[in-house]
Structure 1
């Protein structure tokens, strides 16, 4: 593998979008030699990925049609990342000037939204890579040794997007290739991909709204297939545990801030009536296992309440709730609270996610016609 990596680096400064002899050689090395050599680590990578290693996929590209600045070889779970535009995966890149090899983990350029995969704008791509870094730090306490800048020297739009989509990266200088144990390095990368997959499998990378949309979409169409989401969806007991944890966290927060609290969740389109100094506000509580608090799902009655009583309502979002289960009983713990007092619902984007279709009453008995 060392000789292959060195030779690809040596060919990088000769980059051309055309299929020159140098680019033909580079393509053979990337799509042939290097892909085969990484595939030769299959048993080791499968173990490192744990429950996500059974469908290990290894694939490579040096450009479709015109050659790319950044040829790559990636490995991943086929289910979690069926193609390079979806999900997270480990990928080997090369500096455009041939100075280094980069072993990385990053994501594709689309995500699940409103029932399908959609392209990610830059701010969403940044949010996804930041989320993945936080998951790795949560698991390992550090990004080291994958804490190098994702700067491969790209100048063209698509390769630049590869850089932006990189969550963690380890740079190996050309002079250090021979001294590097790449089998160990790929193993370490796979072990960091594993907790990212585990977090995705329970929807931590989705907003609460997207989580619930996916549950609805799966119920309406059981054949729906979205990468990494087969079988996803909280059971009714698990959902109740999340909601209970959110209510407990919100109640404790309100009381610690001097509010008198009355639970109204069983009889009103809001969860608490909170009183402080003679002022009463109606508080809506949303709880989620998601690590992202920028999208929630609301009923028509909840939306109407916040619109008609604007200024007298508040929203509490409790995200990052963790679930534990024993003998079928679920309990929630943790949670990050966001308190939006005097929430202006019209400052948020409203998107219809599903429609209730009701057959109109018939004015004529068709059976007699």
Structure 2
């Protein structure tokens, strides 16, 4: 691997957006040779990290169409980071001047817009990188040789700046002092163990700007029904996990209401609300939502049209119970759920401006 990194770096000063002989050789090195070396390390990575990640993959790119000034090769979870624009991963980034290469713990720093990759807003990248460094602080302390700032020296492309802004931490290797293959392999395994920790943390304490898994799944399903399924984007939760989360949320909401003196009936299977709660003359229509993530004032829930219509109509006899931080146990089949923190809104008045339509039914006329 040491020689492969060296060969790529020596070609970097000859960068051209067209597929010149130098760029053709660089492409083979990045997409085939470097990526194959990364794939050969995947068994060692899988042995070193918890079982929660079981779909490690590797890929490399030197540009989509035009040749990139900053080629890369990455290791990632195929489900949690299906493309380099999504999620978190560990990636080799080759400096434009050919003087250094970084092994970076990176986030999706670009967006595909108008037929090209464009940088995400700098403030968003900085905020997410800072969140990750704070969340991983204890694990990162053991490697004082990690750097927080990287300098790729891109001359023509804004993507280099986006990678710099999106970096969490990185190992920096200079062309004159590239480490041995054993050191490179050990550094890769270390960063992948940190990456697996980040994947686990991001399930409970969402990174800034990330939607909850339930919201992502609803968007994916809406696009699938509309015939516009996202490439590489699958559901974050399977049916058994969703059922376990929903059941745990309903159970905790029921316990809360019973403790308040209500008689409670679960009507979620037949009505447009989940719990029918009565106490004397009082009658409440209770909506229950469960999530594995931490609840914040910016958190979102998914509502059907019928749920919205009912709760608008029945206000102020309405209540919303959100159960956050539910813990899934995958050692059982089907998975079970435990824990949970309640947030109760009563009466619950839906603020129409806060509703975002995700899909429409449309009658096509003649």
TM norm. shorter chain > 0.5? yes
User: Using the alignment, how far apart are the partners of 2:262 and 2:362 within structure 1?
Assistant: 32
Q: Secondary structure at the match of 2:68?
A: coil
Unaligned segments of structure 2, at least 5 residues: 112-117
Is 1:286 aligned with 2:289?
A: yes
User: Using the alignment, how far apart are the partners of 1:232 and 1:332 within structure 2?
Assistant: 17
Cα shift at 1:101: 2.2
Cα shift at 1:94: 2.2
Per-residue CA shift, 1:60-86, capped at 9, x if unaligned?
222233221210112234455554345
User: Using the alignment, how far apart are the partners of 1:102 and 1:64 within structure 2?
Assistant: 21
Unaligned segments of structure 1, at least 5 residues: 112-118, 358-369
In structure 2, the residue matched to 1:365 is: none
Q: Normalised by the size of structure 2, how large is the TM-score?
A: 0.65
Q: 1:291·1:319 contact (CA, 8 Å) conserved in 2?
A: yes
Is 1:239 aligned with 2:240?
A: no
Q: Which stretch shows the higher mean deviation, 229-238 or 342-351? A: 229-238
Q: Which stretch shows the higher mean deviation, 170-179 or 333-342? A: 333-342
Is 1:152 aligned with 2:158?
A: no
Q: Which one of the candidate residues 340, 348, 361 is aligned to 2:354?
A: 348
Q: 2:88·2:106 contact (CA, 8 Å) conserved in 1?
A: yes
Is 1:307 aligned with 2:304?
A: no
The within-5 A match list for 1:178-193 is: 178=179, 181-193=183-195
The within-5 A match list for 1:1-369 is: 1-20=1-20, 22-48=22-48, 51=51, 56-78=56-78, 80-108=80-108, 122=121, 126=125, 129=128, 133=132, 137=136, 141-144=138-141, 145=143, 148-149=148-149, 152-154=152-154, 156-163=157-164, 166=167, 168-174=168-174, 177-178=178-179, 181-196=183-198, 206-211=212-217, 227=233, 229=235, 232-233=238-239, 234=241, 236-245=243-252, 262=262, 266=266, 269=273, 284-291=287-294, 294-308=299-313, 315-324=320-329, 330-335=336-341, 337=343, 344-353=350-359
User: Using the alignment, how far apart are the partners of 1:120 and 1:263 within structure 2?
Assistant: 54
Q: 1:242·1:332 contact (CA, 8 Å) conserved in 2?
A: no
Q: Secondary structure at the match of 1:41?
A: helix
User: Using the alignment, how far apart are the partners of 2:251 and 2:212 within structure 1?
Assistant: 20
Q: Secondary structure at the match of 1:104?
A: strand
Q: 1:133·1:143 contact (CA, 8 Å) conserved in 2?
A: no
User: Using the alignment, how far apart are the partners of 1:349 and 1:162 within structure 2?
Assistant: 34
* Equivalent residue pairs, number: 335
User: Using the alignment, how far apart are the partners of 1:316 and 1:130 within structure 2?
Assistant: 32
User: Using the alignment, how far apart are the partners of 1:232 and 1:304 within structure 2?
Assistant: 28
